[in-house]
Chains A and B, each alone.
Chain A
Amino acid sequence: MKIKKLLFVTKFEELCYDALNSLLALRGAALEHVVFLNVIERDKVAMKRGSGYLKEEEVKLKETANIRFIDWAENLFEMGLEVGAYMEVSTLIPEILKVVKKESPDLIVIGRSHKGPLEHLYAGSDVIELIRRTDIPTLVFKHMKDDNIVPEKLFERPLFATNWSETGKKTVEYIKGLKEVIGEIHIIHVVKESALKSSDTHEVQKVRKTERKKLDNLCDELEEAGVNARPHVYVGEPQKEIEKAAKEYQATMVILGSSEKAAILERWMGSISKNIADNSIYPCLLIPGDKTV
């Protein structure tokens, strides 16, 4: 699957031109079209006692977004890309879904939400809500901080964490579509410590060997498709180990499958994809499973 069109959702404070710029390597694959979306949350212009609907504020916010988008668009147009833009007063996720329906992007790019822990607990994060409601792959960028600079070459060294699920297979196909831009992909499978509970060293080694063999086969499959790949087996708590591997191999992003079941369960229990998307310092590409699975 090729990424020809991407939807870049921004509130400007969490996702800026450097993030967009890091995605332009996708031109080397198939990227032709970038669509910007700025959603002005209703409460910013909502009716207030004594002042009514803040029309002037809406105009100001829309024009501010327009000026930013024009500047970004000029850069992209000059590279020969197609650009479109939406600026709407609305609610984030429904508006994204509306634009997805109109534009049919191959990738959604979004910044991590700013909800507090309590809101997260009751409402779930925007990202997981989005993943639950769309089958379009979603790249989650982190909130911009001084110490969290967006990597210039986002696709140079991705880390793909697989748990051998059906979603993982879909993710592999997606990765093949990125062969022109991936430098080298590191593939990791984390064996939970509980799977190694045996006093027999031979049994423990057998687990490692089996997983390593599966990873080797996957690397072979990717290399046949033109993607350089290196396998790694880790042991421990998946979220922690994925972060550790990303750090050790200086990953430029983390790629994860995200099943619908996991998205529903996460609201109550937490899932690896959600936790990594919400907490990791790395940009995360989440590939949702088919909604019928």
Chain B
Amino acid sequence: MSKKVLVVDDDPDVRSFVVTVLEENEYIPLVAQDGVEGFEVIQKDPPDLVILDVLMPRGSGIRLYRKLRTDKKFNKIPIIMFTGIAQRSFLKSQKALDEFKGGEVPKPDIYLEKPVEPEELAEAVKKKLG
């Protein structure tokens, strides 16, 4: 059975690019345009993988990432960060939030900095889902 992949990104062109790559590789794409909508989709229809942007309106990818990683129901869902924000800044943000909020949230499974070629994205998805 095909696996479901949720794409959370506010840019319609990026969503369209990722959806095309997923469909070409026989995954079922789900889409959301911000962190709030993304969490709603996850609650309703938990995906097998999340591809997550960081800089978005209404709840950034950082908030959703931490929410998923600290939620017992969803913390096993693998996450591929797919963003223009540099990994170095993302990791620093996690460190700052860990210190501020207490506890330590694990690093993302895969971090891809935009833009990427379709093959690179497909390979990252396959690595997590087979």
**Contacts A80-B96, A102-B57 given; does A74 touch B86 at CB 8 Å:** yes
In the bound assembly, the distance between CA atoms of A73 and B56 in angstroms comes to 11
Q: Are A78 and B89 within 8 A (Cβ)?
A: yes
Task: Name the prevailing secondary structure of the A interface residues.
Answer: helix
Question: Does residue B59 face the partner (Cβ distance < 8 Å to A)?
Answer: yes
Q: Could you tell me the distance between the alpha carbons of A8 and B93 in the complex, rounded to whole angstroms?
A: 20
| Contacts A78-B92, A78-B96; A84 near B85 (Cβ below 8 A) | no
How far does the Cβ of B94 sit from chain A's closest Cβ, in whole Å?
A: 9
Which of B34, B56, B62 is in CB contact (< 8 Å) with A77?
B62
A74–B55 Cα gap in the complex (Å)? 9
A35 contacts B by Cβ under 8 Å: yes
In the complex, how many angstroms separate the beta carbon of B20 from the nearest chain A beta carbon?
Answer: 19
Tell me the count of chain A residues lying within 8 A, CB to CB, of chain B: 19
Residues of A within 8 Å of B93, CB to CB, are 77-80
> Which listed residue (A77, A82, A84, A85) contacts B89, Cβ 8 A?
A77
A residues sitting closer than 8 Å to B (CB atoms) are: 35, 66, 69-70, 73-75, 77-80, 82-86, 99, 102-103
Listed by A's residue number, 26 A-B pairs whose Cβ atoms lie within 8 Å are A69-B55, A70-B55, A70-B85, A73-B85, A74-B86, A74-B89, A75-B89, A77-B92, A77-B93, A78-B89, A80-B93, A80-B96, A80-B100, A82-B59, A82-B60, A82-B62, A83-B62, A84-B34, A84-B56, A84-B59, A85-B57, A86-B57, A99-B57, A102-B57, A103-B57, A103-B58
List 20 additional A-B contacts (Cβ < 8 Å) besides A77-B89, A82-B59, A82-B63: A66-B84, A70-B85, A73-B54, A73-B55, A74-B85, A74-B89, A77-B54, A78-B92, A78-B93, A79-B96, A80-B97, A82-B60, A82-B62, A83-B55, A84-B34, A84-B58, A84-B60, A85-B56, A85-B57, A102-B57
